[in-house]
């Protein structure tokens, strides 16, 4: 028998006797920690016939931010045909052939660095796509492979400090992007007091409200909440994501879905009108948890504190709360409430990035209210004159498109669970994954 025939025979035997299930598991394992992702994007600024111009802005920490001009041009000319995308779903509709590259420089602090890239070239649409799709506002970009998940449970606190945790992960079960809400607080790009997750909750001006915290004006270690680091879904769970869960588990769809299908055209809108028990089922299926109301509030508004180091090397806390995820001034463009006049939810991907919280979570003001795991009871030291409280109720946060701007403040509290947590269809949700300290 020749050497070639012998090798072929051995290969066939390995294929026949190596268990199919094992091969499938290895294939799945190989692909489970990386996926095709868009590394960067640029926007089409002008179109004339089948040609046009696009610009890539180079922001801090973006893909091209620390690269030299020669390196930028090498990257772009290596694969000079780029995919062409249509917003908001990043649907690939064709390609852009690069013909000319110009790198623009500007002052970044005291240094001169690349601040944008102008590309000129021609468009080519995929078969069956009409020419009218080529327009200003389309995106160009580039794909790459990246590690998208690292199990937070694997972090070893003995040699990994809080500021080394990755700022975003994609969860392996439901595929949702999650952002890090770290203990400590961030200043000038550094996480300080990283082992102290102190957080100032509520408000200190109106004792008639259920959000009143009597100790709000005098924060110290004895009356602050201390929260370890955790990851929270960047966006609320959408109709499409909830539908996937229903298909996999056989659970019943919400009664407002006709024929068991979410409203047409709203696949990326947040799922709404769920009961607490339904949300619990989704959390169990995904391997994640509902946030407590304090975890939710910190993710929405930040720590609410500034730490001031004193001359004797001790420190004090100074209150610096914000009313909304993006700041203290209400803005109808950044918070979808009754004042915005939209009278319905928006796609989670249509919400402006300017509305994001200090940790990068989006949609925590209006749009859809969100369940938390906390019982609806008064805060320590608060003795309200009236109102319905109880451990059988659960706190709801964030307000919705039908709420007013006061109800959408990051500290505002609502509740659900009447007549019970199985039947009260009150809100949508987002989930968390805790990090080992």
Q: Classify residue 388 by burial, with Cβ atoms within 10 Å: 0-12, 13-18, 19+.
A: exposed
What burial class does residue 407 get, using C-beta atoms within 10 Å of its C-beta: 0-12 exposed, 13-18 middle, 19+ buried? Answer: middle
HSE-CB at 372 with a 13 A cutoff on CA atoms is 27
pLDDT tier for residue 26 given thresholds of 50, 70 and 90 = very low
Q: State pLDDT tens for residues 292-308.
A: 999 999 999 999 887 77
- Centre a 10 Å sphere on the Cβ of residue 102 and count the other Cβ atoms it contains: 13
Is the predicted pLDDT of residue 155 greater than 90, yes or no? Answer: no
pLDDT digits (tens, 9 = 90+) for 349-361: 999 999 999 999 9
Whole-number average pLDDT of the chain = 85
**Res 257 pLDDT > 90:** yes
At 237, is the secondary structure helix, strand, or coil? coil
Q: Determine the pLDDT at residue 185.
A: 65
Regarding pTM above 0.85, the answer is no
Checking if the pLDDT of 286 tops 90, the result is: yes
Whether the pLDDT of residue 365 is over 60: the answer is yes
Residue 318 has pLDDT above 90, yes or no: no
Structural domains in the chain, CATH included, are 169-434 (3.90.1580.10)
H helices present in 18-88, as ranges: 20-31, 69-78
Lowest mean pLDDT among 45-59, 143-157, 238-252, 313-327: 143-157
Contact present, 428 and 372 (Cβ < 8 Å): no
pLDDT interval class at 237 (50, 70, 90): very high
Q: What is the pLDDT of residue 61?
A: 63
Going by the DSSP 8-state scheme, the letter that residue 415 receives in this structure is E
Q: How far apart are CA 393 and CA 212, in angstroms?
A: 18
Tell me the helix, strand and coil percentages in the chain, rounded to 5. Answer: 20, 30, 50
Strand locations in 263-337, DSSP E? 305-309, 315-319
Residue 360: what pLDDT? Answer: 94
Lowest-confidence region among 68-72, 145-149, 321-325: 145-149
The DSSP bridge partners found for residue 108 are 111
Biggest alpha carbon distance in the chain?
94
Classify residue 304 as exposed, middle or buried by CB count within 10 Å of its CB (0-12, 13-18, 19+): buried
Determine contact, residues 202/211, Cβ cutoff 8 Å: yes
Tokens 């420089």 correspond to what residue? Answer: 105
Query: Residue 205's pLDDT is what?
Result: 93
**pLDDT for residue 348:** 95
- pLDDT at residue number 327: 94
Pairing between strand 230-233 and 432-434? antiparallel
Q: Inform me whether the pLDDT recorded for 161 exceeds 90.
A: no
Is residue 413 within 8 A of residue 204, CB to CB? The reply is no
Q: List, for residues 398-437, the tens digit of each pLDDT value.
A: 999 999 999 999 999 999 999 999 999 999 999 999 986 5
Report the share of the chain in percent with pLDDT over 90: 58
CA atoms of 203 and 185, how far apart (whole Å): 20
**Per-residue pLDDT tens digits for 111-129:** 788 889 999 999 999 998 8
- Token readout for 337 is 């409430």
Q: Tokens representing 203?
A: 């408000």
With left for phi above 0 and alpha for psi between -120 and 50, is residue 304 left, alpha or beta?
A: left
DSSP E strand boundaries for 354-417: 370-376, 390-397, 414-416
SS3 94: strand
Chain mean position to CA 64: 23
Contact call for residues 210 and 385 (beta carbons, < 8 A) = no
């Amino acid at each position: 028998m020749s050497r070639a025939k012998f090798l072929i025979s051995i290969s066939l035997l390995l294929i026949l006797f190596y268990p199919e299930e094992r091969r499938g598991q290895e294939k799945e394992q190989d692909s489970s920690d990386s996926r095709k992702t868009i590394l960067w994007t640029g926007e089409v600024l002008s179109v004339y016939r089948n040609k046009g111009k696009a610009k890539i802005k180079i922001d801090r920490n973006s893909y091209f931010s620390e690269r030299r001009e020669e390196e930028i041009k090498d990257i772009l000319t290596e694969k000079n045909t780029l995919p062409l995308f249509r917003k908001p779903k990043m649907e690939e509709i064709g390609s852009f052939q690069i013909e000319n590259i110009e790198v623009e420089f500007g002052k970044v602090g005291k240094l001169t660095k690349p601040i944008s890239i102008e590309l000129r070239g021609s468009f080519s649409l995929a078969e069956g796509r009409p020419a009218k799709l080529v327009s200003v506002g389309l995106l160009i970009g580039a794909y790459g492979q990246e590690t998208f998940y690292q199990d937070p449970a694997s972090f070893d606190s003995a040699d990994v400090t809080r500021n080394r945790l990755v700022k975003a992960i994609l969860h392996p079960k439901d595929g949702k992007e999650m952002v890090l809400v770290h203990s400590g607080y961030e200043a000038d790009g550094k996480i300080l007091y990283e082992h102290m997750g102190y957080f100032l909750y509520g408000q200190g001006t109106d004792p008639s409200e259920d959000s009143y915290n009597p100790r709000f004006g005098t924060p110290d270690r004895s009356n602050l909440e201390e929260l370890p680091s955790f990851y929270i879904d960047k966006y609320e769970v959408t109709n499409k994501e909830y539908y996937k869960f229903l298909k996999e588990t056989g659970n019943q769809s919400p009664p407002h879905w006709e024929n068991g299908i979410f409203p047409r055209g709203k696949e990326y809108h947040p799922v709404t009108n769920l009961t607490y028990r339904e949300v619990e089922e989704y959390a169990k299926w995904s391997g994640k948890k509902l946030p407590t109301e304090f975890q939710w509030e910190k993710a929405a508004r930040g720590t609410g504190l500034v730490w001031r180091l004193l001359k004797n090397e001790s420190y004090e806390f100074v209150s610096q709360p914000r009313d909304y995820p993006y700041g203290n001034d209400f803005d109808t463009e950044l918070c979808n409430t009754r004042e915005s006049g939209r009278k319905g939810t928006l796609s989670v991907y249509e919400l402006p990035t300017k509305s994001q919280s200090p940790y990068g979570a989006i949609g925590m003001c209006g749009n859809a209210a969100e369940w938390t795991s906390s019982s609806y009871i008064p805060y320590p030291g608060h003795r309200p004159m009236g109102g319905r409280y109880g451990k059988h109720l659960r706190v709801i946060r964030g307000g919705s498109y039908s709420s007013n701007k006061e109800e959408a403040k990051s500290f505002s509290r609502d509740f659900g669970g009447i007549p019970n947590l199985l039947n009260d269809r009150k809100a949508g949700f987002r989930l968390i994954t805790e990090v080992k300290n």
